[in-house]
Structure 1
Amino acid sequence: MRIIAAFLRDLWALTRPYWFSEERWSARALLAVIVSFNLGLVYLEVLFNRWQNHFYNSLQNRDINAFYELLLYFSFLAAVFIAVAVYQSYLNQMLQIRWRRWLTEKYFVAWIANRTYYRMQLTDGGTDNPDQRIADDLAMFVDRTLNLSLGLLSAVVTLFSFLAILWALSGALEFTFAGEVMRVEGYMVWVALVYAIFGTWLAHAIGRPLVGLNFNQQRLEANFRFSLVRFRENAESIAIYHGEADEIRSLRRRFLDVMGNWWAIMLRQKKLNWFSTGYSQVAIIFPYLVAAPRYFSGQIQLGGLMQTASAFGQVQGALSWFITAYAQLADWKATVDRLTSFLAATERARVASEDHPGIITDIKDGAVRVEQLRLDLPDGTPLLAPFNASISEGEKLLVTGPSGSGKSTLFRALAGIWPFGKGVVRHPASHVLFLPQKPYLTVGTLREQVSYPSAPGTFDDASCRAALTDCGLPHLADRLDEEQHWAQRLSGGEQQRIAFARVLLHQPQWLFLDEATSSLDEASETRMYRLLQERMPHTTV
């Protein structure tokens, strides 16, 4: 019970925000319509059940007029059922995509705001594949939550709708026990109840391991997909190293993990399918077997037998909802666990940044000042002892040191993204731009690459072409509207030239570079720095 209570608590924490958000009224109205359609489908099933009684009685009585009238009535019911079912599904999908859009936006903000993603990458190794959790797990969560909840609602309404029908149709069962005549009213209701309770208990006992297996499967599939993406994005480096054999071994190992867990799911699912399929097949004949004595004794007609069997099937199906939905429930539980752990990780990162701000970044006019700045590694190991420094406007400063001494970490601290350490970094309010060693290139047009981080259209085409030409990329000047995966199409040196073109367009007053010319030859490097000096003589570098 504690596991169920914890699951329901996590589920409510994931579900509640949307239904009490700014979209709550439209979402609730749409849900109300969907629920109404669901209830309408249940009511139509009740009408179909009554129709069966009259239809099969007309066959038994050879009443051709009643036969054709009932066929016409069935056609009407079927047309209404089809229309309601189609729009119920359509509106369900509409609600799904609206809910998913809202959740995706929320998760984007939780992951990206305040550089939570960066802190999680450095400190929270247990949160694997956040991209998969946002892209796949959210979609599955919305689908499972809506469909399973509506399915449960339909099962409950169907149960109560058909219980009275089945109770009235089943009559009383009389038998002799210990010399006394026993009478059980509505005996088929009790038979359906016992049958479903036993089946539900057995299904849970067989299928319980599927929750953990599905959780692992989602994680392993995401790891395998991420390895393939990394292979594609680093294709040139792998080719230069002739590392294909090692990549094949690595990818094969990842896929074997996927396959091994999949086999475990298959074996467990096979056991569950043996039971659930057998359970469903027995349920087809079971009501006829139980109701047959009353039919052969003449207490009910053929229509009554068919209606009783149908009502029993509806009651038994409603009571057995847990059995038929068990595999989806296990999948749903695993998805809720993954999303809950992801949100918990983002919350830990947020709380850590608030409770232990570490290096404080402050905006202040004038020089860049570093006050008692101490840099640590993520595990707390000291990297740089506390020091003070000041960089005046227009000054040119070069920081040197051996590899691993903390130059790039200092760069990150000045950029305000390194959270580990103590001290204060004061920035001027004027425009500051940081250039890392490996520029970030989006998947989009070349105009987007040159304008980044500003929006496309911030700079006119003539300025973009001039910046590209000045930075030694004249062959790209007329390709601003071309959309490519530029990180794969351009060499390391060309990517760094793109970064310098961004500098020329943005004209920052303060410019910080972390080996931003490491992929350029000496002549090109000299040209880039001379270009900065000529075009931005007053910029602090």
Structure 2
Amino acid sequence: MNQNAEYSAVNDAVRGQFFRKVWAMTTPYWRSEEKGKAWTLLIAVIVLSLVSVGISVWFNTWYKDFYNALQQKDEAAFWRLILYFCGIAAVAIVGAVYRLYLTQMLTIRWRAWLTEKHFARWLGNKNYYQLEQGGYTDNPDQRISEDLNNFTSNTLELGIGLLRNIVSLVSFSIILWGVSGSIDVYGFTIPGYMFWCVLVYAVIGSWLTHLIGRRLIGLNNQQQRFEADLRFSMVRIRENAESIALYNGEPNENRRLSSRFGLVWHNFWDIMKVSKRLTFFTAGYNQAAIIFPFIVAAPRYFAGKIELGELMQISSAFGNVQESFSWFISAYQSLASWRATCDRLLSFRQAMTDNEERAPMIDVQNSGSELKVHNLGLDLADGRHLLTNADMTVEEGERVMLSGRSGSGKSTLLRAMGHLWPAGHGSIRLPAARYLFLPQKPYLPIGTLREALSYPQAGDTYPHERYVHVLETCRLPHLVARLDEANHWQRMLSPGEQQRLAFARALLYAPQWLYMDEATSAMDEEDEASLYQALIDEIPGLSIVSVGHRSSLKRFHPRHIRIENGHLVDQAVTA
């Protein structure tokens, strides 16, 4: 697999482009057709987050009064403050519940919008095909499903958390500055000395946290990829269960899965080791933060300059300022995971952009009433030439059979006609008419048989009688009763049945031009002859370009073209 694209986002970050690209990925939603609801929800969440900061400040003042009441043994004040606490707590609970609820609502709406946009982009410009062929990115399914989910939830959580911590920092810094007083050090008076203590404490802690935990970004990126590769390998086994079973390939597949899981295992152990060192530090840092303000403020308390309530208020304010200054420390693992998610999404989006901006080397357009291939060259990734300056014209109504040795470029020529082959030169002019491609292995979507039969159109496109007719014509009468049955039809039907279903699809669609790539390879000659004749009889004037090896196909194609030495050569038709 080409790993350059995978790490392009990391390199971009080094060049200072990472946040610019993340910003470009983040902002479109907030300017989209949903911007009204999005901003309303975001403002509501921000307001509730700021309310929670206000409640924390409220509690800080309560701590002072409560501990002073305890020190003074003022029972009336004690019970009044208990009731006061219940009121503050009730407001805090309601705010927390709705902050979470509205945040989740905003997250799923943002995720839905991003997912739809990525669906459209992935399926547009043949990105889903070209990215797989070129090996530009791994597991696009995971990037659209899991990574977009993690991106939206983590971005909101981290962004709103950062805003909340900034507001909290300002609020409690003012309180801490006011209650901490000043201290004389070597003849210098330091005002608000508790504030400077917590600042130094948090800066040193943040720096050490980054030194210890910075490997987590790359390790999290790799873990997501290894987990997705393992899931994909298991899906491959499910999709090819019959072939594996007939080969008795279970030991081989077991080794492959174990190898995939081995990567998950070893990478996770690396994450565990880094996380263990990071947790040792952060847990010690947080524990020390509990006692540190008492140690620093104790001289003033024992000197009688402050009372117990003020000491507890200093401790509470110090804890909040320290927590705000230390947001980077507490959120480091979340930041590392978010960064890995962004890297994967950015590399995926960059790969799609590269494919979209790549100028087509073969000029394929739909115009006129004939199929014209002019000066066409088709190249493989290793530089080998399949076709060189090939020319061909197929007139409307002709039926042409393409043949040649295996690997000569027959199927590749059809891929080029279908806008799927990027390497080469020359031009292809497809007729501007209704057309359909029938590949060797038909695609049958999971769903009802009616939907599989009418694909890519909707299942209710044709009347019921048409479905029954084409199934019976294509020797599939036993499937008529199952038209509305939902199933995984590529597993349920034999290869021959799948190809007959593809012919039934062609009869339904009734194209003017039909391009077939060994579309009868899994049929016997009797079925093949019956289906070709049905196409000719039921779709008058149908133009056909078929790739095939069997001599039995020749009688349905008055014209034969063979690929020889990289050229398209017309063959003499024998009676």
- Of the structure 1 ranges 25-34 and 244-253, higher mean CA displacement relative to structure 2 is found in 25-34
How far is the alpha carbon of 1:336 from its aligned partner?
1.0
Counterpart for residue 390 of structure 1: 393
Counterpart for residue 24 of structure 1: 35
How far is the alpha carbon of 1:154 from its aligned partner?
0.9
Counterpart for residue 191 of structure 2: 185
Question: Are the aligned partners of 2:198 and 2:322 in contact in 1 as well (CA < 8 Å)?
Answer: yes
How far is the alpha carbon of 1:228 from its aligned partner?
0.7
Query: For 1:402-413, what aligned pairs fall within 5 Å after superposition?
Result: 402-413=405-416
1:540 aligns with 2:546: no
- Aligned to 1:229, the other structure's residue is in SS state helix
Counterpart for residue 179 of structure 2: 169
Q: Distance in 1 between matches of 2:440 and 2:227?
A: 32
- TM-score, scaled to structure 1: 0.95
Q: Which amino acid is 2:402 matched to?
A: V
1:15 aligns with 2:26: yes
1:158 aligns with 2:168: yes
Q: Which amino acid is 1:501 matched to?
A: A
Closer/same/farther in 2, CA of residues 392 and 5 from structure 1, 3 Å limit: closer
Query: For 1:92-171, what aligned pairs fall within 5 Å after superposition?
Result: 92-123=103-134, 125-171=135-181
Q: Which amino acid is 2:129 matched to?
A: Y
1:474 aligns with 2:487: no
- Aligned to 2:543, the other structure's residue is in SS state coil
Q: Distance in 2 between matches of 1:39 and 1:470?
A: 70
CA-to-partner distance for each residue in 1:65-105, whole Å, 9 max, x for gaps?
Answer: 21222112111111111111111111111111111122112
- TM-score, scaled to structure 2: 0.90
Q: Distance in 2 between matches of 1:2 and 1:345?
A: 17
How far is the alpha carbon of 1:2 from its aligned partner?
6.8
How far is the alpha carbon of 1:116 from its aligned partner?
2.2
Q: Distance in 2 between matches of 1:373 and 1:304?
A: 86
- Aligned to 2:482, the other structure's residue is in SS state coil
Q: Distance in 2 between matches of 1:11 and 1:365?
A: 45
How far is the alpha carbon of 1:379 from its aligned partner?
4.2
> Aligned to 1:228, which of 214, 227, 234?
234
How far is the alpha carbon of 1:4 from its aligned partner?
8.7
Counterpart for residue 304 of structure 2: 298
How far is the alpha carbon of 1:262 from its aligned partner?
0.6
> Aligned to 2:82, which of 67, 71, 86?
71
Q: Distance in 2 between matches of 1:10 and 1:211?
A: 17
Question: Are the aligned partners of 2:220 and 2:340 in contact in 1 as well (CA < 8 Å)?
Answer: yes
Q: Distance in 2 between matches of 1:66 and 1:407?
A: 92
> Aligned to 2:526, which of 523, 529, 539?
523
How far is the alpha carbon of 1:293 from its aligned partner?
2.1
CA-to-partner distance for each residue in 1:429-461, whole Å, 9 max, x for gaps?
Answer: 221011000001111111110010111210122
Q: Which amino acid is 2:48 matched to?
A: F
1:285 aligns with 2:291: yes
Question: Are the aligned partners of 1:18 and 1:102 in contact in 2 as well (CA < 8 Å)?
Answer: yes
Query: For 1:318-357, what aligned pairs fall within 5 Å after superposition?
Result: 318-352=324-358, 355=359, 357=360
> Aligned to 1:438, which of 429, 438, 441?
441
How far is the alpha carbon of 1:510 from its aligned partner?
1.0
- Aligned to 1:469, the other structure's residue is in SS state helix
How far is the alpha carbon of 1:60 from its aligned partner?
1.6
Q: Distance in 2 between matches of 1:287 and 1:480?
A: 74
- Aligned to 1:400, the other structure's residue is in SS state strand
- Aligned to 1:39, the other structure's residue is in SS state helix
How far is the alpha carbon of 1:153 from its aligned partner?
0.8
Closer/same/farther in 2, CA of residues 110 and 42 from structure 1, 3 Å limit: same
Give the unaligned 5+ runs of structure 2: 1-11, 545-575
Aligned length: 533
Closer/same/farther in 2, CA of residues 129 and 288 from structure 1, 3 Å limit: same
Q: Which amino acid is 2:170 matched to?
A: F
Give the unaligned 5+ runs of structure 1: none
How far is the alpha carbon of 1:274 from its aligned partner?
0.4
1:83 aligns with 2:89: no
Counterpart for residue 35 of structure 1: 46
- Aligned to 1:478, the other structure's residue is in SS state helix
Q: Distance in 2 between matches of 1:7 and 1:273?
A: 27
How far is the alpha carbon of 1:507 from its aligned partner?
1.0
Q: Distance in 2 between matches of 1:53 and 1:527?
A: 93
Q: Which amino acid is 1:489 matched to?
A: M
RMSD: 1.6
Counterpart for residue 276 of structure 1: 282
> Aligned to 1:200, which of 201, 206, 221?
206
Q: Distance in 2 between matches of 1:96 and 1:3?
A: 29
Counterpart for residue 498 of structure 1: 501
Question: Are the aligned partners of 1:509 and 1:539 in contact in 2 as well (CA < 8 Å)?
Answer: yes
Question: Are the aligned partners of 1:466 and 1:477 in contact in 2 as well (CA < 8 Å)?
Answer: no
How far is the alpha carbon of 1:470 from its aligned partner?
2.0
Question: Are the aligned partners of 1:172 and 1:186 in contact in 2 as well (CA < 8 Å)?
Answer: yes
How far is the alpha carbon of 1:229 from its aligned partner?
0.7
Q: Which amino acid is 1:90 matched to?
A: Y
How far is the alpha carbon of 1:142 from its aligned partner?
0.9
